[in-house]
Structure 1
Amino acid sequence: MAEFTLKYADARGQVHQISAVARNEAEVRERFTRDGFLVYSVTAKNGGAAPGARGKGVDMEKFLILNQQFVTLIKAGLPILKALDLLAERLTDDKLRGPLTAVRDEVRTGALLSTAFQSQRMFPPMYITTIMAGERAGSLAEVMDRYINYQKLALSVRKKLITSLIYPALLFSMVLALIVFLITFVVPKFSELYSSLNAELPMATKILVSVSTTASSYILFGFLGLVGLVAGIYFWSRTERAQETIDLVTMRFPLFGEIWTKFQVAQLARVLSTLLVGGIPLLQAIHTAGESVSSVLIRKALAQASQLVREGQPLSHSLKKTGIFPDLAVDMMEVGESTGALPTMLGSVAEFYEEDVQNKLAAVLSLIEPVIMIFMGTFVAFVLIALYLPIFSLADSLS
């Protein structure tokens, strides 16, 4: 017998975490599912994942196509097991074919579809919760359709943001490469020339030559130091405390901080709206939405809000107390609660902030590009002037 940590939701939507003793993870899931509870996760008591746990991610675009095919087959009247058989046989992506085959085998033995997907440990929590809601409501295809539409919107917004950042990133990389080339190759050539002529160098040239000599002498150490710094920051950033610090700094960063916060709020509102429309109780929806956002501070704020909602407070009032969410978003949620149209209003919040993020990001990037160009032009002009001033001085002395 082994001991497991179980996280589940009861019929009122309250989330609990307890310890349970059983032979394996499947027995724990079956026992609590049979009693009518919504099982979120089962992990081994030693802190590791239960047997069969996986740490692989999901390619959301391929996963989205898979779900579109799955919903089409279900709507065509095929039983779930037959639809899984067809998908598993024709799926070409190895990363998805193995887990999908395992899901099909579990469903064949009598497991619920949501339980089978959850046991693979690689699918998003929101997806598992969506399937659970569809199974309970008897409308799996309709609920999964809403999930697919949400993912389409989320992928579209993400692609637009990435596309907007590509050109500034390339421009910055080119400027950095040009600076390194001038400092480590061009300037030393001129420095050797001036040394052979024993010319008196102007102050600007002396500064430039000094920087170039130092950079050329320590370029290897600088590169190794940079690699070490990046590695250190990477491992440090994986700790929860570091992620909180990074979140806090990002949210307070001029211009980009506001954009980042609004982007996270838009994602959260979209997830909550999708779950509530799918029939998920509010507390369960908040819990699942918290696992779907990337910001640690927002996840902690949602945990605080969830506790207040459990005590009877409205969602808008609970989120306002955290001090993280924008006032406009909270006010719109309050209107939705008072009119009984919270899911619809959350969708409006998501649309408003997604559009606002795209507009503000475009405005900021339109300012960054000329700033980079001005900096590059100023630096190149300084290098040229500093390199050619001694030549002008020599020409004057010879004349």
Structure 2
Amino acid sequence: MAEFVIKLADERGRVQEQVQTASTAEELRARFAHAGYHVFSVKARSGIGGMGRRKVKLEPFLIFNQQFLTLIRAGLPILGSLQMLSKIQKSAYFRSQLDDVSNRVKTGEPLSGAFEAQSGVPVMYTTTLLAGERSGNLQEVLERYINFQRVSLTFRKKLTASLIYPGLLLTIVTGLLVFMFTVVIPQFAQLYDQMGSKLPELTVGLLTFGKWTQRNFLWILLAFVAVVVGLWRYSITDKGRDTVDSVRVGLPVFGKIWLKYQVALFSRTLSTLLSGGLPLVPSLETAARSISSRKVSRAVGSAISTVREGKSLADSLTNTGVFPDLSTEMISVGEQTGALPQMLNSVAEFFEEDVATALTAALSLIEPAILIVMGVVVVFILISLYLPIFSLGSAASGGQG
């Protein structure tokens, strides 16, 4: 799918521009012309390396689905509900996506297919809609999806909130060090140059580094920005995503926390899909695409092939060597008792609580560690700067004696 900017007029003659997704410009033009619009132009949207594609923000998307479910329950048709909700969206991009969904539904395309054509819409959402359409129970599967997203969003907010203080502390420490090396130390260098006295080697080294930092601060800043941008550009490539995921999983302490978080996300996603009536293999395929970790996603992918051969899900996940033993044991119990969706939900709850506890404990150790490192660095700088003054004071006292 590619993104296009389409200029069109509706049946009332109102001219508007929208950003829409389609396989080709001709397909997009035909779609809107068939829906009764007069199409002036269709142009490819500019973007470097796919950077023009956006992901749907989860919070507004969750609110939209809550409103959508309410309207459907009230008896409004799907098309009318979509058109009504499109008009009240604050985001122009999301509004254009809903307009495209409405147009596709208007021409007879199923709701799941219409949303699947939009860039950034979660795979799990379109799969959930497909399951609801096939079973004729769209309201129930939408409600399950909303509950899933509400729990996931709440948990994600808790994790983000727990990282705010360490991040703020690290920013303050970095800012303090930059201030000392670019302002304080060069001022001491000017003072000692005027005095012309011999300085200890520790002080000379620090002052030399401070002068160099002040002279080259702009180049250092540009180099830092270039490195950050380069790493970001690399991280959005396939190879870069693999590297980032390997680094995440390999981190001491935090690697295990990240892995448990991905297992919790997989379990909750799979539970929601199975509860919606989707078969196990399609549910696994969707869950694998919904996971951020490439390692866990590949492990689920390899488990899918063994599940197709007739092996149990628990054994298939155990053979990957990625999933914790406790999770596969609980899944095995769920398979044996015929309550797999409920057990997967229990797995998710257990690991989410475990992640929250482990992250809190890890951060409680990191915060004082940051303060200790900051204190050691500041004390080292102060001793280096004031050592000549102490030496001059000692010499003056000795001369008076």
Query: Percent of aligned positions with the same letter in both sequences?
Result: 48
Find the counterpart in structure 2 of residue 16 from structure 1. Answer: none
Runs of 4+ in 1 over 4 A off after TM superposition: none
Unmatched 5+ residue regions in structure 1?
Answer: 1-22, 28-53
1:346 aligned residue: 344
User: Which of 354, 357, 377 does residue 356 from structure 1 map onto?
Assistant: 354
Instruction: Please say which of residues 328-337 and 204-213 is displaced more in the overlay.
Output: 204-213
- C-alpha deviation, 1:266, in angstroms: 0.7
Decide whether the 8 Å contact of 1:316 with 1:331 is kept in 2.
yes
CA gap of 1:92–1:245, structure 2 versus 1, over 3 A, is: closer
**Alpha-carbon distance in structure 2 between the residues aligned to 1:207 and 1:92:** 56
Counterpart position of 1:327: 325
Q: TM-score, normalised by structure 2?
A: 0.83
- The corresponding residue for 2:204 is 206
- Structure 2 counterpart of 1:381, from 379, 382, 387: 379
Instruction: Give the alignment partner of residue 293 of structure 1, picking from 282, 291, 294.
Output: 291
Out of 188, 191, 197, the position equivalent to 2:189 is 191
Separation in structure 2 between the aligned mates of residue 246 and residue 91 of structure 1, nearest angstrom: 35
Structure having greater relative contact order (Cα 8 Å, sep ≥ 6): 1
8 A contact 1:199–1:394 mirrored in 2: no
Normalising by structure 1, we get a TM-score of 0.83
Q: Which amino acid aligns with 2:105?
A: V
Q: Distance in 1 between matches of 2:97 and 2:182?
A: 52
User: Gaps (5+ residues) in structure 2?
Assistant: 1-25, 31-51
Provide the C-alpha distance between the structure 1 equivalents of 2:237 and 2:293, rounded to a whole number of angstroms.
13
Q: Retained in 1: the 8 A contact 2:55–2:119?
A: no
Alignment of 1:124-203 (within 5 A): 124-203=122-201
| Compared CA separation, residues 284 and 196, structure 1 to 2 (3 A) | same
C-alpha distance in structure 1 between counterparts of 2:97 and 2:215, whole Å: 53
CA distance in 2, matches of 1:242, 1:82: 43
Residues 268 and 293, structure 1, Cα contact 8 Å, conserved in 2: yes
SS at the partner of 1:122?
A: coil
Corresponding residue SS for 1:117: helix
State how many pairs are aligned.
Answer: 351
Alignment of 1:109-124 (within 5 A): 109-124=107-122
Structure 1 position 244 matched with structure 2 position 242? yes
Q: Describe the shift of the 1:319–1:24 C-alpha distance in structure 2 as closer, same or farther (beyond 3 A).
A: farther
Equivalent position SS for 1:187? helix
Separation in 2 of the partners of 1:93 and 1:198? Answer: 64
Structure 2 Cα separation of the partners of residues 250 and 128 of structure 1: 29
SS in 2 for 1:199: coil
What is the SS of the residue equivalent to 1:312?
Answer: coil
Cα offset, 1:168, TM superposition: 0.8
Q: SS state of the match for residue 127, structure 1? A: helix
Q: CA deviation at 1:87?
A: 2.1
| Residue of structure 1 in register with 2:63 after alignment | 65
Say whether the 8 Å CA contact 1:270–1:350 is kept in structure 2.
yes
Residue identity in the other structure for 1:152: R
CA RMSD of the aligned region, Å? 2.0
Mapping 1:48-87, distance limit 5 Å:
55-87=53-85
Residues 276, 343 of structure 1: 8 Å contact kept: yes
Which of residues 264, 267, 272 in structure 1 aligns to 2:265? 267
Q: SS of 2:55's equivalent?
A: coil
Offset from partner CA, 1:346-374 (integer Å, 9 cap, x none):
10111111111111111111111111111
Distance, in Å, in 2 between the alignment partners of 1:368 and 1:131 is 43
CA positional deviation for 1:301: 1.3
Query: 1:146 Cα shift?
Result: 0.3
Matches of 1:149 and 1:283, distance apart in 2? 23
